[in-house]
Amino acid sequence: MIKQRIGRKFLTSLLILLMIKMKIENFNIQHYPEVLELWKKAGIGVGSSDTKEEIALIIARNPELFLIGKEQEKIIATVIGAFDGRRGYVHHLAVDPMYQKKGYGKAIMDDLIERFRKKKVHKIHLFIQKQNKKVVDFYSKQGWEIRDDIIMMSFIPDNTLYKRSLDEQKL
């Protein structure tokens, strides 16, 4: 009985793997306009750290950690990884709403985690806005744990630079 159940679970996972057609590549700056559209569609808030210039900076510091997922040349998923030499960080995990619940979010995240592993990163953090609580279940399924021993605080060193959300012309 248990053997049968494990067998069925294995076959289902294999089938899902075979059905996954998304190709994962490194982001390059030519992808920026399409990626920006995807973030907006997926409800990712874009702020002053998401201008083309700021994105160019993060990929210069973290080459091969900003990933895009493509299905037939259309960008349908993104994730930004960053390593500060001590901890890894994940930003802007997003899957086009038309392609969600097909295993793509997990697939692109697994690829990023493998890249962190190769860099020998000890721990990876990510931040979820409280209004987006429903996504916690997705991460919990992948083994992420909520930290209740830490209080996150932020400080803005230059108010002229930071904007939580940006209008179209500034992006």
Give the interface with ligand COA as residue ranges (CB under 6 A).
42-44, 93-95, 100-106, 128, 132, 134-135, 137-138, 141
User: Which is it for the CA torsion 149, 153, 131, 70, positive or negative?
Assistant: negative
Tokens representing 169 are 């012309």
Of all residues in the shown chain, the one whose CB is closest to ligand COA is: 105
Minimum Å gap between C-beta 148 and ligand COA is: 18
Residue among 48 and 100 whose Cβ is closer to ligand COA: 100
Residue among 46 and 94 whose Cβ is closer to ligand COA: 94
What is d(CA 152, CA 164) in angstroms, rounded to the nearest whole number? 17
Mapping DSSP to helix (H, G, I), strand (E, B) and coil, where does residue 114 land? helix
What is d(CA 139, CA 116) in angstroms, rounded to the nearest whole number? 17
Tokens representing 88 are 């890894």
Minimum Å gap between C-beta 129 and ligand COA is: 7
Residue among 120 and 130 whose Cβ is closer to ligand COA: 130
Residue among 80 and 121 whose Cβ is closer to ligand COA: 80
What is d(CA 129, CA 125) in angstroms, rounded to the nearest whole number? 14
